[in-house]
Each structure stands twice: as structure tokens, then as C-alpha cells.
């Protein structure tokens, strides 16, 4: 039975990846951080929390002895490093912590592999945020990087550390440059889930309006469940390499707002009150979207659109879910949760 460690099993991707690896017959060791209130709602919602092949291990990426012990005790075949301070907005307020966890944290794990067993395969969760300021459209494995946040430059450090350990020590270390991927398991601080959860609350009369920042940012949004399959495929490929996973389609935050409200039969009048008056109304005149500068970032990534041809050709990986379907599924789940009072 193959053994895999997933750092960050309490997060969106960690939960989906654990589900996938369990289906593939792996023994999965998922790491979580000690906290005064436990955070297992995602693996519970997926129905895998009591799977006998799933083991939860307390761990912090920032504690190097815990990295070494993790590998010594479990003797894994594969390590998927998904743990990170992953929220771009917070990285501006907590840059040092973000660099330690999101950047140096990956190096801790690579060093632990070098020390304990250099045959362990390693996946690093890299990101389209490393492309940052647009240098090329679409963005590929060869596009120059220009990160625009402490999160982006920390991930870039981890990306290069992964490549360096691959080249220096012959470690099977893969970097997956993933564009935004969303799902009903997305954290509520990220814009898509913030919107779908708010739309559900507005529909149920629990909220008046959504407060958002930059509505014109463009993102290449896919479905997270399909992206974790890409991670798995990268570690099974014959060589350790770098791959982009994306849908190759970009949309604005504004479009995602429109799609989400469409699910509860509301149309936003973008010509209505207007951004200068800080809000947009429904066609019937109810203020539903407020633009709040609090949610603007000191430096923004204006536009991301990927090119997944390499992953398509070499890994036979391709996204299938449209943004429309993804959005409908997220709104539907948020309606159910908010009705049941189980929204996380």
C-alpha cells in the first residue's frame, strides 16, 4: 500500500486530494495544526474523516524537527506540500509570517527529504500568483515571473527551492503552477466563496448586501476537485517537472457576481448607482453590491489566464467543469448550508 503525506489536509485542496488518494488505495497521512477549535469540516463533508486509511497527524510546517520526525515516522512514498498561509490579502499584513510558512516552510520539507530519504517524491503547490503583473498572455511554464504580493514572492522562493533540490540532489521534486481553483469547500475569505455564501444569505434574508473590492480583476477559475487529479498525475509522471494547470479562460470578479446572483434570479444593474456612489443595485433598485476600498490590495494582480497545453499533452489532464456550473454548484451548496445553519 502506497503512503502519502498531505500537509494542510484541513484546507480545500488537502481534503479533495485525500479523497482522491484514498480512492486510489493509498494510506493517507494528513497534517493539521493544533488549534483550540478543530477544523475538520471539509473532510467530514466529504465523508472521509472516519476512513481507516486516513490518519491525522499534528504538525507545523515551521517546526523543523517536526518535519524530520514526520518523514522518519511515516516513511512516505509521496509528500504533497499544500500547507501555506494562502490568502494573498493577509500576506500584505503578515509578510514575515507568510514568508516563513509559505516560502521557508517548503524548504524545511525539502531539507527533511534530503536528510531522511531522498527517494521520497515531493509536490510543491506553486501558484499563478507568481506571474503577478502581466508579462505575457496566456501564461505558460516559460512565462517570466513578476509577483505582486508577499504571498507571491514567498511562493516563488519555494518554487525555485523545489527546482534547485530537483537539480542538486536528484530529488523527484515537482512544482505545479496552479491557477485559481474553487469549490464549495473554498474558504469564505476568498472572493468566489465570499460571493456565493453572501448570495445565499441575501436570498434567505440573512444579509442585505455584499461588500467587495476590485470587481475588474480577471482570474482563470477552475474546479478544485479536478486540479488535485493534476497534482497526483504530476507525481506519477516519468520525470519531475513543472506544469501549469488552468482552464485557459479568464473572467472578471464582476462576471462571477453576475453568475452567482443569476442563480437566485437577480440581475445586477451595473449602470445603476455606479462605483463612485459605492454600490450597485438589482433591476428593482435594491442595493446589493457595495465597493469597499478595505478589500483593495496595495498591489493587484490584474489579469491571469493560463495555458494548460503541457499538462494536457504530457499528463492527459484537462479541466471539464465550466465556470457557470462551478458557480451554480457553489451557490446551491451555500443555500443548503445556510438553511441548515451549517455554513463554515
Query: Which residues does the annotation mark as catalytic?
Result: 127, 129, 151
Q: Please work out the total of residues on this chain that contact ligand GDR, with binding judged by CB under 6 A.
A: 22
Residue 89 or 262: the one with the smaller Cβ distance to ligand GDR is: 89
| Burial status of residue 270 (CB atoms within 10 A of its CB: 0-12, 13-18, 19 or more) | middle
Using alpha carbons, select from 292, 297, 228, 305 the residue that is nearest to residue 88: 297
Among 108, 121, 166, 181, binds ligand NDP (CB under 6 A): 181
- x/- mask, ligand GDR, residues 243-282, rule CB under 6 A, reads ----------x-----------------------------
> Which residues in the 103-132 window bind ligand NDP by CB under 6 A?
125, 127
Which single residue is written with the C-alpha cell 455554513? 343
Cβ pair 123, 234 in contact under 8 A: yes
Residue 189 or 277: the one with the smaller Cβ distance to ligand GDR is: 189
> Which residues in the 139-178 window bind ligand NDP by CB under 6 A?
178
Q: For the stretch 239-256, what's the b/e string if a residue is b when 16 or more beta carbons lie within 10 angstroms of its beta carbon?
A: ebbbbbbbbbbbbebbbb
Helix (H, G, I), strand (E, B) or coil at 177: strand
Is 326 among the residues that bind ligand GDR (CB under 6 A)?
Answer: no
Cell readout for 243 is 506544469
Nearest approach in angstroms of CB 12 to ligand NDP is 4
Is 191 among the residues that bind ligand GDR (CB under 6 A)?
Answer: yes
> Which residues in the 87-106 window bind ligand NDP by CB under 6 A?
101
Cβ pair 96, 88 in contact under 8 A: no
Using alpha carbons, select from 221, 234, 21 the residue that is nearest to residue 121: 234
Q: Which stretch binds ligand NDP (CB under 6 A): 8-16, 254-262, 264-272, 334-342?
A: 8-16
CA distances (Å), 49 to each of 15, 30, 41, in order?
A: 10, 10, 9
219 binds, among ligand NDP, ligand GDR, none (CB under 5 to 8 A by kind): ligand GDR
Cell readout for 168 is 542538486
Residue 86 or 162: the one with the smaller Cβ distance to ligand NDP is: 86
Among 3, 18, 28, 86, binds ligand NDP (CB under 6 A): 86
Nearest approach in angstroms of CB 328 to ligand GDR is 18
Among 95, 213, 262, 279, binds ligand GDR (CB under 6 A): 213
Among 78, 129, 197, 226, binds ligand GDR (CB under 6 A): 129
Which ranges of the chain does DSSP label H, i.e. alpha helix?
A: 12-23, 41-45, 64-74, 88-93, 95-98, 105-116, 150-169, 191-203, 224-236, 253-262, 309-315, 323-340
Contacts with ligand NDP, residue ranges (CB under 6 A):
7-8, 10-14, 31, 33, 35, 39, 59-62, 82-86, 101, 125, 127, 178, 180-181, 187
Amino acid at each position: 500500500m502506497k503512503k502519502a503525506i498531505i500537509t494542510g489536509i484541513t484546507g480545500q485542496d488537502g481534503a479533495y486530494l485525500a479523497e482522491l488518494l484514498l480512492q486510489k488505495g493509498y494510506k493517507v497521512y494528513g497534517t493539521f495544526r493544533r488549534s483550540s477549535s478543530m477544523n475538520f469540516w471539509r473532510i467530514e463533508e466529504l465523508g472521509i474523516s472516519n476512513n481507516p486509511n486516513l490518519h491525522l497527524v499534528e504538525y507545523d510546517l515551521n517546526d523543523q524537527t517536526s518535519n524530520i520526525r514526520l518523514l522518519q515516522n511515516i516513511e512516505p512514498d509521496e509528500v504533497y506540500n499544500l500547507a501555506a498561509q494562502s490568502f494573498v490579502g493577509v500576506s500584505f499584513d503578515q509578510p514575515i509570517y507568510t514568508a516563513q510558512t509559505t516560502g521557508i516552510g517548503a524548504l524545511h520539507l525539502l531539507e527533511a527529504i534530503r536528510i531522511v530519504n531522498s527517494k521520497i517524491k515531493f509536490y510543491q503547490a506553486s501558484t499563478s500568483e507568481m506571474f503577478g503583473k502581466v508579462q505575457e498572455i496566456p501564461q505558460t511554464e516559460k512565462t517570466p515571473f513578476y509577483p505582486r504580493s508577499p504571498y507571491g514572492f514567498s511562493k516563488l522562493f519555494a518554487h525555485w527551492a523545489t527546482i534547485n533540490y530537483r537539480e542538486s540532489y536528484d530529488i523527484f521534486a515537482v512544482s505545479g503552477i496552479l491557477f485559481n481553483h474553487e469549490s464549495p469547500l473554498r474558504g469564505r475569505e476568498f472572493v468566489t466563496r465570499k460571493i456565493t455564501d453572501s448570495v445565499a444569505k441575501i436570498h434567505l434574508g440573512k444579509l442585505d448586501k455584499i461588500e467587495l473590492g476590485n470587481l475588474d480583476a480577471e482570474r482563470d477559475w477552475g474546479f478544485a476537485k479536478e486540479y488535485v487529479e493534476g497534482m497526483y498525475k504530476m507525481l506519477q509522471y516519468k520525470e519531475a517537472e513543472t506544469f501549469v494547470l488552468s482552464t485557459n479562460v479568464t473572467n472578471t470578479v464582476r462576471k462571477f457576481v453576475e453568475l452567482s446572483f443569476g442563480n437566485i434570479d437577480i440581475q445586477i444593474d451595473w449602470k445603476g448607482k455606479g462605483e463612485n456612489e459605492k454600490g450597485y443595485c438589482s433591476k428593482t433598485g435594491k442595493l446589493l453590491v457595495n465597493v469597499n476600498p478595505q478589500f483593495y490590495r496595495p498591489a493587484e494582480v490584474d489579469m491571469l489566464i493560463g495555458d494548460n497545453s503541457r499538462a494536457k499533452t504530457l499528463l492527459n489532464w484537462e479541466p471539464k467543469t465550466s465556470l457557470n456550473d462551478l458557480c451554480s454548484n457553489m451557490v446551491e451548496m451555500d443555500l443548503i448550508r445556510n438553511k441548515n445553519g451549517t455554513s463554515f
